[in-house]
């Protein structure tokens, strides 16, 4: 039975609720009190103060789905949108959180349990990555995470890959909370593909191949990057995980594209009704336009709903550009 978007979202929240997490609402799509960000670019934005030790909540474990927009700054996916089938300007990020509570072990084991036992994803199609260390920051490889994946989660050691800071050290921006991370990728290859390809640096994990997509990022927040680039330890260690909702949904619905899930198909049906052009026909340019428009419609709607109006400056200008860009793709 295919799960709907609504069901998958609810299953994620209740899995962690059953493990002592408070279900909390998404923050707005733009942070109200953080001048370093135009838009909320990650689930951790609304908890930045907790990580830095300048704020607190009355819970130490949380789970949520955060509305994110990545169109500016350090995390900007705009140019990929529409050209591929798995990047978005607006997306939901499913996340579980530990504020000075559990750390790597539980984060890793629960992620594996949810994906492979609850949702039944095939283990021989999953790959995980861990931080390889960084000389400049004086950090060693994350051998602890590596060991936990192998010994506690029971993953085949050949499926645990090391990557450098570009892929496996998560930072919110130029400054702010950060730490080594461990990602879970899925190989969506078909029956004739070699399940060992994930380790191939040319076509495998993190090679920019649509066959291997990152599903979930588990960040072990330990540091604050301060002005000038130095790392200082945070007052406590935290867990910040982020799973791309549109991506996991496409996997669970057996689709090769996020746009073939029930989050997007109603928008496409409306576009076809308005234009008379079908999606998925032979003209790939019109398919790209469909994806760009559907993506931007969601981003703009959510921005407007949260109170960002089109304007000539700042986030209002981004909203305006998205409207213009969608219109341009529509016309062309
Ligand atoms: N902060 C991490 C990310 O955005 C995990 O939530 O990928």
Nearest atom of ligand 1 to the alpha carbon of 41? 4
Contact 241, 95 (CB under 8 A): yes
β-pairing verdict for 212-225 and 231-244: antiparallel
Q: What is the pTM of this model?
A: 0.94
pLDDT band at 74 (very low <50, low <70, confident <90, very high): confident
- Residues of the chain with pLDDT > 70, as a percent, come to 100
Which pLDDT score is estimated for 118? Answer: 97
Which pLDDT score is estimated for 145? Answer: 98
Which pLDDT score is estimated for 78? Answer: 84
Beta bridge partners of 160: 128
Of the residues 40, 93, 99, which should be mutated to test ligand 1's pocket, given the most ligand atoms within 8 Å of the CB? 93
Is the beta carbon of 176 within 6 A of some atom in ligand 1? no
Average pLDDT, the chain: 95
pLDDT band at 1 (very low <50, low <70, confident <90, very high): low
Is the beta carbon of 240 within 6 A of some atom in ligand 1? yes
Helix-, strand-, coil-residue percentages of the chain, each rounded to 5: 40, 25, 35
Q: How far is the CA of 241 from the centre of ligand 1 (A)?
A: 6
Report the pLDDT averaged over residues 1-12. 94
For 248-298, the pLDDT digits (tens) are: 999 999 999 999 999 999 999 999 999 999 998 777 899 999 999 999 999
Long-range contacts of 223-230 (CB under 8 A, 24+ apart): 223/177, 223/178, 223/179, 224/51, 224/52, 224/175, 224/176, 224/177, 224/178, 225/171, 225/174, 225/175, 225/176, 225/177, 225/178, 226/175, 227/175
Is the beta carbon of 95 within 6 A of some atom in ligand 1? yes
Contact 62, 101 (CB under 8 A): no
Contact 43, 68 (CB under 8 A): yes
Report the pLDDT averaged over residues 62-73. 92
For 157-214, the pLDDT digits (tens) are: 999 999 999 999 999 888 999 999 999 999 998 878 999 999 999 999 999 988 999 9
Residue in 179, 249, 184 with CA at minimum distance from that of residue 214: 184
């Amino acid at each position: 039975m295919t799960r709907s978007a609504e069901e998958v979202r609810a299953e994620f929240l209740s899995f962690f609720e059953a493990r002592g997490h408070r279900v909390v609402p998404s923050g707005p799509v733009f942070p109200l009190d953080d001048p370093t960000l135009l838009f909320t670019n990650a689930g951790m934005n609304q908890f930045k103060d907790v990580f830095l030790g300048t704020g607190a909540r009355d819970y130490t474990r949380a789970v949520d789905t955060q509305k994110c927009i990545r169109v500016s700054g350090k995390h900007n996916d705009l140019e990929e949108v529409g050209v591929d089938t798995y990047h978005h300007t607006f997306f939901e990020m499913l996340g579980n959180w530990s504020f000075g509570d559990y750390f790597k072990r539980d984060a890793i084991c629960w992620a594996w349990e949810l994906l492979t036992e609850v949702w039944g994803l095939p283990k021989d199609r999953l790959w995980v990555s861990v931080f390889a260390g960084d000389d400049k920051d004086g950090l060693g490889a994350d051998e602890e995470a590596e060991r936990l994946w192998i010994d506690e989660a029971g993953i085949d050691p050949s499926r645990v890959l090391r990557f450098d800071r570009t892929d496996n050290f998560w930072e919110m921006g130029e400054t702010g909370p950060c730490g080594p991370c461990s990602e879970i990728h899925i190989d969506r290859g078909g029956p004739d593909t070699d399940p060992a390809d994930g380790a191939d640096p040319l076509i495998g994990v993190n090679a920019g191949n649509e066959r291997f997509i990152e599903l979930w990022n588990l960040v072990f927040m330990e540091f604050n990057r301060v002005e000038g680039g130095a790392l200082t330890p945070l007052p406590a260690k935290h867990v910040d995980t982020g799973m791309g909702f549109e991506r996991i949904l496409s996997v669970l619905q057996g689709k090769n594209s996020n746009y073939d899930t029930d989050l997007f198909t109603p928008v496409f049906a409306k576009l076809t009704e308005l234009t008379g052009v079908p999606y998925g026909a032979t003209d790939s340019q019109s398919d790209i336009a469909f994806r760009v428009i559907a993506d931007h419609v969601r981003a703009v709607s959510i921005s407007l709903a949260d109170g960002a109006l089109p304007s000539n400056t700042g986030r209002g200008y981004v909203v305006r550009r998205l409207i213009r860009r969608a219109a341009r793709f529509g016309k062309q």
